[in-house]
Structures are given as C-alpha cells and as structure tokens.
Structure 1
Amino acid sequence: MTEQAQQPVVRDGNVVAAREAGTLWGLFCECVRRCPVGIAYRDYDPVAGNWCDHTWQAIAARVDRFRAALAQEKLEAGDRVAILLPNGIDWVCLDMAAHASGLVVVALYPHDNAASNAYILGHSGARLVLLDSDARRQSLRPFRSEFPSLERMWVRDVGAGSATPTSELIVRNLADVLANTSEPPVPHPAAPSDLASLVYTSGTTGRPKGVMLSHFAMLWNAEAAAAIIPPRRDDVFLSVLPLAHAFERTVGYYLPMMGGSTVAYARSVQDLRDDLIAVRPTAMLGVPLLYERMSAAIRANVAGSFAKRILLQIAALLGWRRFEAAQHRASPGLAARLFWPILKHYIAAPVLAAFGGRLRAAISGGAPLDQDVARLLIGLSLPLVEGYGLTEAAPVVAANGLDDNFPGSVGRPLQGIEVKLSPEGELLVRSPSMMMGYWKDPGETARALDPMGWLSTGDFAELKDGRIFVRGRLREMIVLSIGEKVNPNAVETELTRDCLFKQAVVVGDRRPFLTALIVLDPDAWRRFAADKGLDPERPNHAASKTELLARVTPLLATQPRYAQVRAVHLILESWTIEAGLLTPTLKVKRDVVQKMFAREINALYAEPPQSRPRPY
C-alpha cells in the first residue's frame, strides 16, 4: 500500500474517517455517539400503512439485543453467521451485532433460488442463519445435507414460537430469541485487518466464489467513494438493491453511516414509484435495469401523443446540451437558453417529481449503462452518474462525479487506486481495499491476484484522459472461425433496445457467423404476430423467423458485417433466477443458457448451405 493510499480520503469533519472508525462496529458506535437522536433508518409498516423512523439510539438498543442473543449461541470469533433477509433494520442489526462479536457475516440474496443459497451456506460453513420466513426455511429443507455446519436458524416471521429441533438443527422464532436476552457482552476487540464478511460473487460462469473482505477494505472503499459525492446529515438514501450486493453494502449502507445520513428501505420494485414519492430521497443506487425501466416508463407516458413525443425529444436534447456546457465541453446554444425554462417546467420537472423531487445523486453500477437511457435522463436534469467496481475490490474502483461526469465512461479511479492495461487490453486494478482472497480457494486467488497485488478484472477496457471505458468481458468475447472478435454484450444491448426482444444471448464462438437466442416480450410479441398474421404460439415457424430476423437486421446497422446476427431461435418463456438462468444481480448465466439450448443452437448452424445466410 502506498503512503498516499493510507491517508484519509475525506476531509469533511462531518464524515467519520476509516482510520477513526477502525472497524465496522467502530463506525456504528461513532455514528450513534455523534447523532443519537438522528434518524438512522426508515421502513414501511404494512400493518399501520405508514413509514416509520428509527433513531440511531433505537437501532443501537436493538443491536444490543442481537449481541446478547448471539452470545447465548456459544459462537466463537471467526465463526460465520448468514443473513437471508430482504433489506431492513433486522439486516443491519444482525450485521452490526455480528461485527461486535468478532463474527464473519455471510450475506445471501433473498430472491436467489434455494439451491444457490444452500451451496453458499455450506461453502461458507455458516453456523447460524437468520431467515425471513418459515416458507424460506421449508425451501431449504431438501438441501439440508449441503450445509452440515449449520446449527441454528432464527426465523423472523413464523407462527410457532418454541424452539424446534430438526435433524440436529435448532429453529427459533426471532421474537423469542430477542425477548430472552440479558445484558450484551463486552465487544470483541477486532482489528481493521480482520475478516469482516464473505461476499459471494454472482457466478455467471460456474459456482459463486466467496470474496473475503476485511473491515479496513470496506471502510477504506466507502471513504474513498465518499470523496466523489460526500454524504450529508440531511441526506436520505433510498435502498433498492439487496444488501447482499457489494455495491449496496459499501455505498448504500456503510457510506451513509459515515455521514450520519438516513437510509430508507424500499418495499419492492413494484412499489418503487410510490416509495420515491413518499420518501423523496436525495440519493439512490441502482443497476442499469432500474434506470432503463424508468426511461421506458417516461417514453411510454408520451407514446400516445406525437406532440408530447416531440417535446420530450427536444427537452432531452436541449437539456443534454446544457449538461455538456456545465461540464465545460460545449456551449449550450441560444435555443437551450431561450426554451429550456419552459421545457424544464412542463417536461423535466414532472419527471424529477416522479423521483421525489430532491435527488442530488442517482448512481448506476453493476453493469454498463445504456447511453440512450443516460442521455434521456441526464437531459431531463436527473443527476445520474455511472461507476465501476468488482466485489474483489470492495467494490468501487472508479466513478464519475457530478461535476466531472462523462457518460459512456465509468469515470476516474478513486484516489489511491491504481489501474493499468495488460498487453491484451485487460483492465488490472491495485487497491488498498483489495480482497484477502477467495474463501477456501487459494488456486483461484492466485489466478486473480498476482504477487504484486494486481487484480485481473476480466474486463477489456480503454484508458483515455484518466478515464476508464469498459468494452466487454474477456471470457465472454466471441472469436469467430473467420478470425474476427465480437463483444456479445454490445450486440445484445442493441437487440434488447427493441421492446419486442426482452432478453438475448449471442452465440458464435469458433463458428462462421453469429446467431442469437432471443426471449420475446409476451405482449409485444402478441401484437407483432397479430399485425403480421403469424401464429403467436409458433415463434420459430419459418415465416415468424423471417419477420423477426428482418426486425433484427436494422438494429445492428452500426455493427461491422461480421457482427451481424444471421439466424435466431425465439423463446417465449423468460429466463429467471428461479430457473437458474439469471444470477441474483439479474445477469444472464451465458454458459447455462447455451447448454440448455445446445440442440437449438446446433440446428441454427446445420441449415443447408443454400438456405443459410452468408456471413458476409
């Protein structure tokens, strides 16, 4: 670690520095000390039908009850405890109680399938898990043999309240657990370098890996990210992404705690529109899909009116020019100066009001952000910035700032982080917040981290003027048999711009041309089939494929000739997490999809030469 990297990044006296906190438990205690009656968290009470505020003092009292309960379970420092809950104050309370007890937290995705969560419970060797419901417990029962180390289950929402032994597994109602506690023990004297959490990667190829992150790694990364957009006492973060996601954990949980900010927990994606208006957040994190849906909703709102569509286009265009001028890259022009006040009032203001009307930072991460989406939302004055990171780096590597925002790039490396390109163009990262390694996997650790501490990200990238431009995943690059290389993500992004195509996987490695597996949007497909006189139940009929391939071709007009899709297989059933085809972060498991549809893929390449489209 360089001397520069060890220096505090944030010099705002209102932000708790990593060095001052020492550990995650230390950060929590310092925040409680500084603003005991401040609002720490806000959640929705479905019974009362309103939002409830929780002060730092009140959260600290509940954390103490969790600490006392953990002490009764005879766990030892270094033992793993797992959390399988939706976001909320109980997630926070067990997390902090575990850190105060010297335990290692293992976070699981509540919307992941039971088989995946069972694997993580077993691989991590967790001894205790907190579940959200008895239904969740029942879903794990068939996989009991995969997590033999687990001894205790605390279940939050369960009918029976008594302890229930099941195959040497003690199941207890969380309310009973917390009711029968005494004074909490003295906190465990953890060191900043101690292992704090196992954060499992999403596993797009193969089993997820357990990334070992120390207290220091997550604190340093949160502090470095806070230098880009410092948290404030009066900030309200709306938490949408699951806390099992490293991005949400560091930037949406520990970073707000550093500033004594409030975090409000969204109820669900379905309720997000109402939650935005009720909570009126000043900051929120999201994956690109979230902003894509918002963009689609804005466009759908004006779809029925030609005049409104034109006004939206003009507003976004002039707003984008104003944004570029504010970034010192262009002049806004006379039209923007004359007409923007009117367009802002009638077009942009209602959009911003739908986000609550107070957002000062909307952050996108986890995957590349579609540039049409970025231009629309930024053009309508949404303060949208993009960043880049990896779980192995705890996780933020680079980010755009509000005053230094270059859409299309993922920004500049955080202060103290080094980046460079390998001879093959792979992005390499060296950071003070680097992982300790992969849990129980020294071989994979050695492959990912070289002896000098450089992490192989697996991403192709370009470095321009100090900014990072990510171009695709190294392992996902397609090398055609004609020698050309294709980034499938770029082709898939163009395909799914069309509302008819919901999901796509492009295929062609060591083949003469590209083909694609495409999931059709049910409603759009029925309308398209009716308009073309096609059978909606037979998307792969020759006539249907001819029409759909004709729809595909113009979408790829900007792609090179060798990157054109020459044949398609159409699918009516969406790829889901439950089916094992998506990761918990909604990334397509490319290898699994291609294996499932291997016969269909081979058929696309087995057409008679006279009927097969030429690659050129």
Structure 2
Amino acid sequence: MSEDITDYISASAAQTLYGLFRERLNKTPDSTAYLNYCEKTQQWQTISWSNAAQQIAYWQQALKSEGLLPGDRVALNLKNCPEWVFFDQAALSLGLITVPLYPDDRPDSLAFILQDADVKFLLLQNHHQWNRLKPSLSDEHQLKRVIIKSTDKLTLDAPAMYLDEWLKKDISYPLLDWQTETDQLATIIYTSGTTGKPKGVMLSHYNILSVASASLEHFKIKSNDLFLSFLPLSHTLERTAGYYLPMMTGSKVAFSRGIPQLANDLQQLKPSALIAVPRIFERIYQRVRSNVSSQPWYKRFLFLLTHKIGWCYFLHKQQRRQWSPSFLLMPVLDKLVAKNIQALFGGQLRVAVSGGAAIPHHVAEFFIGMGVNLLQGYGLTETSPVISVNTLSDNKPYSVGQPIPTVKVKIAENSELLVNSPGNMLGYWNNHKATAKTIDAEGWLHTGDQAEIADTGHIFITGRIKDILVLSNGEKVSPADMEMAITSDELFEQALVVGEGKPFLSALIVLNAEQWLLLAQKLKLDAMDKNSLQNKPLQQHVIQQFRRLLHEFPAYAKIRRVNLSLSPWTVENGMLTPTLKIKRSKLIEENQHIIAEFYQD
C-alpha cells in the first residue's frame, strides 16, 4: 500500500469504479479532488469531492432521461477535464459501458469504433469534431444522441445538441446507488492499431481496480500529492494511474490546458507526480540540449559534469557503484545546474512515471542524473495496463521494472513475454478469434514483446516479435532499437528502418526542420529546395551519422540507403496511431516505390 495514506481505499472496499468514487466521497467530502483552469477568470479553480458528486448527479439524471439501458455503449471524445470524470462516473453508475476516444484520432477511425461498439450516445468537445465526423458515419448510424460540450451556439442538426441545453441543473439530485458487479464489463478501449483495424479491449471494474491498487506498491503515492493530467484520459495508463489511482489515495489531480501550455502549467501548479510518455521527456531533453549548445564553454562543461557525476551518484545511491570523491561536488552542481532542470517540472516533482513506449537510455540517464525521479514502467491496454514498473529504491532505468504484486510473468520459447494478471482483459469486443490468439488456454496473455527477465526480476524488453527484420542472410534485427538510436540525434525527427528479406538495411527519415536549416547552411545547400534532400554528399553525411549512432549494433546492422523528407508522419495523415506509435506497415505500403529503389542496384 502507498505510504502515509490514512484514507486509502482498497479495490475490495470499492468493488466498482463508481463504488470507488462513493467511498472517496464518504471519506473526504470536503477535500480538493480536481483543479481546472477557467478561461473567464484566468484562474485555477478547485473542485471538492462533494462538488464533483453534485455534478455527477446531474449527469446521472440527464443520461437516465435518454432511455439508455445497462450494457449500452456510450462514448466520449473530450480533452482532459472534470466533465470527463463526471460523464465516466455517471455512466458507470447506470451500468453503461464507456468507450473513450482520442481527440486527435482520424474521423474514419472514430466512425469505425462507433459502429463496431454500437455506440448509442456520444459526447464531443466541440462542433468542429462533429462536422469532421459526420461524413465518415454511415447513413444508418446508431447514434441516438450527440452532445457538444462547447457553447458556440451554432445551429445543430439532430441528434446533436449543446451540453448546457441538455444538462439540467435547476434541481438538486441525490447521487444514485450502484448495483454493478465487480467483474462486469466497465469499458471498451480501442487499441491504436499499428496494423489493421483497432480492436476493442474489454476491461472490467475488477481489472482496473486490481491493477491500480497493486501499482501503489511500486508507484508510491501520498494523499497530499498533486498529479498534473495531460496524457489523454483515453490512454489507459493515464486513466488507471492518473485518474482512478489518485482517487484511491485521495490525491489531487489538475487538468493541464494542453501540450502548448504544459510548460506554464508545470510552473504554476508545481505537481509532485506525473504520468507521461517518453516523447514528452524527449522534447524537454532536446530543448535543453539545444539551449545548452549555445552557452559559453564553461556552462557547457558544468552541464556535462553535472550530468555525468549525477548519474554516477544515482548508481551509488542504488548500491550499484562505489562512493567517489567527485560526489562531494553534488551540492554545488545541484544548486548551479540540476535545480534548473528540476525547475522545468515545477521544482516539486517527487516521482514521474514514463510508459507507453521505451524511453531512450540517454534521456533517462540525463533526467535521473539531474535529480528527476524518473521511473520507467510497462504495460498494455489488454492488461489494464500496468504489468511492471521500477521503484525509487530499486530503479534500473534500462529495464521496465519488476512485476507489480499479483502479476505473474514468464518467457516463452520464442522469447515472448507472457503475462497472467488480474488485469488481463475479458477479451476483444466481438472478436473471439483475436481473443483466443492473445490469451491461451492456461490464461497467459501473449504480449507480442520479446523480453528477458533478470535474476532480480527486472524485465528488459528487447523488441517486438512481429517487427523483427530477417535479412536475406538470416541475420535478425530489431528495427525499433535502431530507430530509437537514430532519433537520439536532434537532426532526425522520425525514422523507419526497413530491409525484410533484403541483403542490407535502409531507412526512411524525417528531418527536424530547424536542424535541417543549420545542416543545409553547413553543406552549402538550398534548404528551401526539396531536391537538396537527394544531394549525394548530404546522404553520405547522414549515413556517416548513422554509423556513429549505431556503433554498438552488430556489423550486419548497418544502413546503406536512406530517403530524407521534411514531411512529418502524423495522426492526421494516417502514419501514426493516436498514441503516436508509427504505423509500420502503412508507411511501408505508402513508400513501397521508394523502398524498391533502395534495392534496384
């Protein structure tokens, strides 16, 4: 259990996700639950648990008036905000199944999810989302009601209407009781789908509660902690660890205004706990490195010295390195350098968890060396999602930590990581074939990830089984590891390594626009001319950089051909999933003519 928690709510006490809210309301009704920024007052407003209860009661009555039946699917496509919680809790209390959607997802993907889940009710952020979605819906779509949160007051056609017209607040209502069973379906979360159509992951109340509770053994949270919520709540990691888990501990959650305002939100709110994906830490790291590179030599020296000694000092505290006299410099270096890095997160950050993808080693080393308590974890939507996470007292940043309590793991003959957990999904919605393929007869869930388990129990992810490239000579390569190494250089924004069945490897590369301008100037190329990207000296320069970045890889894992572009792969153009994972098969399909040219000679 988390330390310093007197009002902790266990999974068994909560029984259901709505039961969790009711228990929290009973224990600490007047405590602050949420902070949300008000555009009108330009202030952060606090919402107590009793305030939240009144709002949830309004939503319960409004949803009841729609004639929805227990088991009906209702979807929401909102940015992180209190209404996300109010809707979710009200729906769960009525036995409805919530289907969270990604605000940045493509209309055709959203339409598929709405149809596949047979969604009856949809909550949207604004009318722009509705206008984008409508053309992708079939004429026989099953939506009975669409509610728009914004108050633009543009004319809406049925079944759409504005939230302030639909949600009646003229009468106070009591909170409804709940009668849902703990093992009943609570939510259907659609996986991002790097290949093929998204699959609906069915999670029960018990799945999520058990994982949130077990995570507290590794991810120590206190009742006075403040979370800053900016990873979309449609992301299972944020929902479990950044929404339900703080409700268990009575911690406060502040909803960020969004990525553009994230830096300001961190400074204003000074959170003590963060849930994030590696990309956030990578962006901050790149910004810091870019800033330092323009500083005088002595500042660059102090920066590198702090990083190096700080990392060694961390290893010493973890009992993995002997004491060194250089550690005596830490108080001074911390004050001169490291505190400035910690201040980027508000200066009060006690713990940060990174999940959803692997964090590059150099990025983890940097932040940890600068005194940021960064813990890497691992999980899948199909496991609710946490499988493992490092701890502050036993943090091996290159690993994804040890399994949380109640989670069992083992390695199959093909090196695949198998998981048996209370968080293992009920199955895929309307897809028995995919369910049987993922969960075997003994209850082990096949993650699709290759891994190794150390004697200490720490899990090291080594690649994706499906993504392993086999060259024509039989040698095997993990493209994801190579891509991570390549994009550790600021010049390379995105990378895709190809070469399945070929004699050598090649790469599709998206260059960082700012770094490209600097490189073009250095090579005396016209940065505005797209043909410059095909310049032979430029391509040779890039391949030389690859050799430097990939020097630790086997000799056969060398890239010999490259295609350079300035057009990023995005969710909008269909090359990234809503969780910003590269759609490898889609990219290869779209660029097959370029890839074919790599191997013509």
Normalising by structure 1, we get a TM-score of 0.94
Paired residue secondary structure (1:276)? helix
Q: Which runs of 5+ in 1 are unaligned?
A: 1-7, 608-616
Distance 2:72 2:380 in 1: 25
Distance 2:571 2:140 in 1: 21
Q: How does 1:463-502 map to 2 (within 5 A)?
A: 463-465=453-455, 466-502=457-493
TM-fit CA distance, 1:300: 2.2
Structure 1 residues 185 and 467, CA gap change in structure 2 (3 angstroms): closer
Structure 1 residues 185 and 496, CA gap change in structure 2 (3 angstroms): closer
Distance 1:521 1:445 in 2: 40
Q: How does 1:394-405 map to 2 (within 5 A)?
A: 394-405=384-395
Identity of aligned residues (%): 39
Q: Which region of structure 1 is more displaced relative to structure 2, 372-381 or 46-55? A: 46-55
Match of 2:239 in 1: 249
The code of the aligned residue for 1:577 comes to V
The code of the aligned residue for 1:572 comes to L
Match of 1:4 in 2: none
Structure 1 residues 344 and 174, CA gap change in structure 2 (3 angstroms): same
Match of 1:83 in 2: 76
The code of the aligned residue for 1:531 comes to K
Alignment deviations for residues 220-239 of structure 1 (CA, whole Å, 9 cap, x no partner) = 00000011123222110011
Match of 1:240 in 2: 230
The answer to whether structure 1 residue 519 and structure 2 residue 519 are counterparts is no
Q: Which region of structure 1 is more displaced relative to structure 2, 553-562 or 19-28? A: 553-562
The answer to whether structure 1 residue 63 and structure 2 residue 56 are counterparts is yes
Structure 1 residues 161 and 178, CA gap change in structure 2 (3 angstroms): farther
Paired residue secondary structure (1:563)? coil
Distance 1:371 1:361 in 2: 18
The code of the aligned residue for 1:102 comes to G
Conservation of the 8 A alpha-carbon contact between 2:418 and 2:445? yes
Distance 1:583 1:28 in 2: 31
Match of 1:142 in 2: 135
Q: How does 1:217-236 map to 2 (within 5 A)?
A: 217-236=207-226
The code of the aligned residue for 1:598 comes to Q
Match of 1:172 in 2: 161
Match of 2:308 in 1: 317
The code of the aligned residue for 2:403 comes to P
Conservation of the 8 A alpha-carbon contact between 2:207 and 2:384? yes
Match of 1:295 in 2: 285
TM-fit CA distance, 1:548: 2.3
Q: Which runs of 5+ in 2 are unaligned?
A: none
Q: How does 1:332-347 map to 2 (within 5 A)?
A: 332-336=323-327, 338-347=328-337
Structure 1 residues 146 and 38, CA gap change in structure 2 (3 angstroms): farther
The code of the aligned residue for 1:109 comes to Y
The answer to whether structure 1 residue 528 and structure 2 residue 519 are counterparts is yes
- Quick one: which of 547, 552, 560 aligns to 1:558? 552
Match of 1:381 in 2: 371
TM-fit CA distance, 1:86: 0.2
Match of 1:599 in 2: 593
Paired residue secondary structure (1:81)? strand
The code of the aligned residue for 1:38 comes to S
Q: Which runs of 4+ in 1 moved over 6 A?
A: 8-11
Paired residue secondary structure (1:271)? helix
- Tell me the matched-pair count: 595
Match of 1:97 in 2: 90
Structure 1 residues 146 and 217, CA gap change in structure 2 (3 angstroms): farther
The code of the aligned residue for 2:585 comes to D
Match of 2:25 in 1: 32
Distance 1:219 1:557 in 2: 44
The answer to whether structure 1 residue 279 and structure 2 residue 272 are counterparts is no
Conservation of the 8 A alpha-carbon contact between 2:409 and 2:417? yes
Conservation of the 8 A alpha-carbon contact between 2:25 and 2:53? yes
Alignment deviations for residues 341-390 of structure 1 (CA, whole Å, 9 cap, x no partner) = 11011111121122111111111001111111111110111011100001
TM-fit CA distance, 1:547: 2.8
The answer to whether structure 1 residue 586 and structure 2 residue 580 are counterparts is yes
Conservation of the 8 A alpha-carbon contact between 1:504 and 1:517? yes
Distance 1:543 1:231 in 2: 53
Distance 2:415 2:116 in 1: 33
Structure 1 residues 213 and 147, CA gap change in structure 2 (3 angstroms): farther
The answer to whether structure 1 residue 357 and structure 2 residue 347 are counterparts is yes
Distance 1:140 1:473 in 2: 33
TM-fit CA distance, 1:174: 0.4
Distance 1:185 1:553 in 2: 63
Paired residue secondary structure (1:298)? helix
The code of the aligned residue for 2:451 comes to A
